[in-house]
Structure 1
Amino acid sequence: MPAALTIGDFSRATQLSVKTLRHYHRVGLLAPADVDADTGYRWYTTDQIQTAQVIRRFRDLDMPLVQIHAVLAAPDLPTRNELIATHMASLEQSLARTQSAVASLRDLLAGPSAVGPVGQRTVGAVMTAAVTAVITMADLVPWYLGALGELHATLDARGMRPTGPAGGLYAGELFADERGEATVFVPTATEVPRLGRVEPAVVPAAELAVIEHRGSLADVDRAYGALAAHVANHELRLDGPIREYYVVGRQDTADEKAWRTDVCWPVFSTGVANGTATSSGS
């Protein structure tokens, strides 16, 4: 029979504080082998040391207590391994985001933004399949991915092909108030019937100041900054949603370095182009 340890000795053996051990007992993660009915003293056994060490390692990897409990309670090894693998994948994604943010910050601090020139573009009205909603800035990315996936799935199901790159319209309130209207659209040759969130919509004609952003959208703010500065200095800006055209995006390649996004600011046409003029909707 394994030897018994007081909570103090067990704390020293596992390097988990008494406060932490009491918390783990309360939440049902690591219950002592015995609790004295009269004194309330907790007693642990030596064969619980390894379990405590496993818990500590998982906490070092920022695994939530509820997930640790699920791992320890897993009915078999494959289930346990799947739970651990899921958390490891989450850690790898978090690390990748951190590395990307660090690289972007270093690049930003190294000098002026390496962004392309600003051009001017005239676009005509175009029929699209679209998804529109009032969203928060925090929900923008998952909402955008879901809407774009739904649009392409709907067009595929109806045998319709896009006539140009997907795009987005983003109201000023979304940036200023962190909540506003957003539309993701895919140009189509004919009107698409309503289905779920997907509906036909005409994206209106506009005169736009345009800058191309290359790479991940995580640092697209640099393109926005350069575009805003150009418009403030050279154009007569108009109120209206910002446009983005996803010339090469997630639907085309998983390589973020190959992504190309046109960021567009509505402006008043003066008849003088400050860059390349085109009548396409891309």
Structure 2
Amino acid sequence: MTATVSIGEFSRLTYLSVKTLRHYHDVGLLAPVDIDAHSGYRRYSTDQVTRAHLIRRLRGLDMPIPEIRAVLEAPDTGTRDAALRAHLERMEAQLQRTRDAVASLRALLTPAAPLTVEYRTVAAFPALAIRDVVGRDVIGDWCGSSFALLYETLAAADGVPAGPGGATYSMDFFAEESGEVLAFVPVAPGARFATPAGVALVEMPARRFAITAHRGSFENFDRTYGALGSHVAEHDTVSTEPVREIYLISPDETDDPAEYLTELCWPIDRP
């Protein structure tokens, strides 16, 4: 048996304020079952309590009103659950970003480890590579898909990498929020490959670098960039050639970001 109740009583049943209930009516989330033609008083059915509770929980999870409407109007359970899962996945990703930001901020409160710099001249070498203009906000996804394609291309030719993969980043990538990035995997000299679209066999140029190791996730990579770049500016002749990163232990090899190991190679013009 159901009953109809005033908006005030419905507010008590649902923990939703009268103001909120009126707003949900206005945006089409929760309409009263009856509105008095003369007084304008709204009345709700006790059948609507469960729907109101669901809306309250979804808003508590910061789900936008259009997405809540899609959940409520889903034609079947599968469609509804898919919408809920998609929102939860976005929330989990946001939560991880928040955790990373908190950890990064805590790291700024602790003294940086002493900088160890090695100078190395790297000879030219052949590599399978993918070159593109990439935005900094999508660089993680781009690198993930690019390296997957590079290693697939190598495996299809029964080849093995001649060294760890890496990437070069142009000055525009930092100065303009997007710029040319080249992801590469070294291969044996003289190797031949049937390369799919977007993949090329290139010659990585010889370069002189100041090099340091970055341990851990990329959340604090800016500190390593700042430290090494400052060292080069203070002791060497800065080159505008692309910075080179070498992924000695990459996200493909471990699920623990604390185990990542990356060489940051800063190009210099000093012999």
With the shorter chain as reference, the TM-score category is: 0.7 to 0.9
How many angstroms does 1:234 deviate by?
Answer: 1.2
How many angstroms does 1:182 deviate by?
Answer: 1.0
Classify the secondary structure of the residue corresponding to 2:144.
Answer: helix
Residue of structure 2 in register with 1:134 after alignment? 133
Residue of structure 2 in register with 1:97 after alignment? 97
Give 5+ residue unaligned stretches, structure 1.
Answer: 271-282
1:203-282 alignment, distance < 5 Å: 203-270=204-271
In structure 2, distance between residues paired with 1:100 and 1:248: 19
Residue of structure 1 in register with 2:60 after alignment? 60
Q: Which string of whole-angstrom CA distances, capped at 9 and with x for unpartnered residues, describes residues 181-212 of structure 1?
A: 11111112224333122222221110011110
How many angstroms does 1:164 deviate by?
Answer: 1.0
Classify the secondary structure of the residue corresponding to 2:232.
Answer: helix
TM-score by length of 2: 0.87
In structure 1, distance between residues paired with 2:225 and 2:172: 16
Residue of structure 2 in register with 1:277 after alignment? none
In structure 2, distance between residues paired with 1:29 and 1:252: 46
Classify the secondary structure of the residue corresponding to 1:245.
Answer: strand
TM-score by length of 1: 0.84
Further displaced range: 136-145 or 169-178: 136-145
Letter in 2 for 1:99: R
Q: 1:230 to 1:37 in 2, by over 3 A?
A: same
In structure 2, distance between residues paired with 1:157 and 1:35: 69
Q: Provide the identity percentage.
A: 44
In structure 2, distance between residues paired with 1:25 and 1:157: 59
Does 1:169 pair with 2:197?
Answer: no
Root-mean-square deviation (CA, aligned residues, Å) is 2.5
Higher relative contact order (CA 8 A, sep 6+): 1
Q: 1:47 to 1:153 in 2, by over 3 A?
A: same
How many angstroms does 1:32 deviate by?
Answer: 2.7
In structure 2, distance between residues paired with 1:141 and 1:188: 23
Residue of structure 2 in register with 1:278 after alignment? none
Q: Which string of whole-angstrom CA distances, capped at 9 and with x for unpartnered residues, describes residues 90-147 of structure 1?
A: 4333323322321221121122x12540111111111111111112222222222221
In structure 1, distance between residues paired with 2:234 and 2:260: 28
Letter in 2 for 1:268: D
